[in-house]
Amino acid sequence: QVQLQESGPGLVKPSETLSLTCTVSGGSISSYYWSWIRQPPGKGLEWIGYIYYSGSTNYNPSLKSRVTISVDTSKNQFSLKLSSVTAADAAVYYCASHIGGLAAAGLDFWGQGILVTVSS
Amino acid sequence: DIVMTQSPDSLAVSLGERATINCKSSQSVLYTSNNKNYLTWYQQKPGQPPKLLIYWASTRESGVPDRFSGSGSGTDFTLTISSLQAEDVAVYYCQQYYSIPITFGQGTRLEIK
């Protein structure tokens, strides 16, 4: 069974870049789509964007100007960079896989999430 | 963006009773070429990531108890728990993947009465 694990700094300063990595185990990152989702404490879920193992991406227009998602198939990892962060970007960040290798699909496997705080 | 609106925001149901959560999309999420509704339901317990329950609006994920069922088409969808168990206390979210951006409902908190 596929397992995902987020990693990265839990504290980022305002105006700096948030950088997270999702490591996929128990399966190959190839031939699948992978998403990042975030959830501010006590609030709902917001989709950030997805990447295909080939490197093609699709982002939430509300974040597109600040988001970069990349993939490293040799390490079975994909990554998120969010620039110019503010307090509004504080959230638990999740990585997840798309069902059946489809872009337009629900999300079947999720990481446990990583809490990112934005503070100087 | 497709706006997903769930009702109610919170719900209290007695153990063994039926729980019904509704989700309405601001436009149809039925893809007519394959007759599939691009709609998913998740369950989220405190401190845990969301868990996939239902996809294509009515297909139960492997391992999900059969007391969970999804129905609906087009813009109106329902998640039904036929006989509420204590472990079903959670927040439930619907999600559309018909168009970008993928969007979620605001969540429905389900509690025991």
Q: Which tens digits make up the pLDDT trace of A5-38? A: 999 999 999 999 999 999 999 999 998 999 999 9
Option in B40, B49, B100 nearest A94 (CB): B49
Question: Which tokens in the block code for residue A68?
Answer: 């970069």
Instruction: Report pLDDT for A13.
Output: 98
Option in B1, B40, B49 nearest A110 (CB): B49
Please say whether the beta carbons of B68 and B81 come within 8 A.
Answer: yes
- Residue given tokens 């110019």 in the structure block: A84
Please say whether the beta carbons of B17 and B11 come within 8 A.
Answer: no
Question: A99 φ, ψ to 5°?
Answer: -60, 135
Q: Is the confidence at residue A103, as pLDDT, over 90?
A: no
Instruction: Report pLDDT for B92.
Output: 98
- Three-state secondary-structure class, residue B32: coil
CB pair distance less than 8 Å for A106 and B97: yes
Cα separation, A97 vs A111, whole angstroms = 9
**A62 Cα to chain B: minimum distance (Å):** 9
* Beta-strand pair A11-12/A114-118: parallel
The overall longest dimension of chain A from CA atoms, in Å, is 41
**A60 Cα to chain B: minimum distance (Å):** 5
pLDDT tens sequence across A52-93: 999 999 999 999 999 999 999 999 999 999 999 999 999 999
Cα separation, A14 vs A11, whole angstroms = 10
Question: Which tokens in the block code for residue A102?
Answer: 């489809």
Residues in chain B where the model's pLDDT stays below 50: none
The alpha-carbon radius of gyration of chain A (Å, integer) is 13
- Residue given tokens 């990265």 in the structure block: A8
Instruction: Report pLDDT for B85.
Output: 98
Instruction: Report pLDDT for A31.
Output: 84
Q: Is the confidence at residue A100, as pLDDT, over 90?
A: no
Instruction: Report pLDDT for A110.
Output: 98
A107 contacts on B by Cβ (under 8 Å): 40, 42, 50, 52, 95
Question: A100 φ, ψ to 5°?
Answer: 65, 20
- Three-state secondary-structure class, residue A99: helix
The CA distances from residue A97 to A2, A34, A63, A94, B80, in Å, are 9, 5, 20, 10, 25
Please say whether the beta carbons of A7 and A103 come within 8 A.
Answer: no
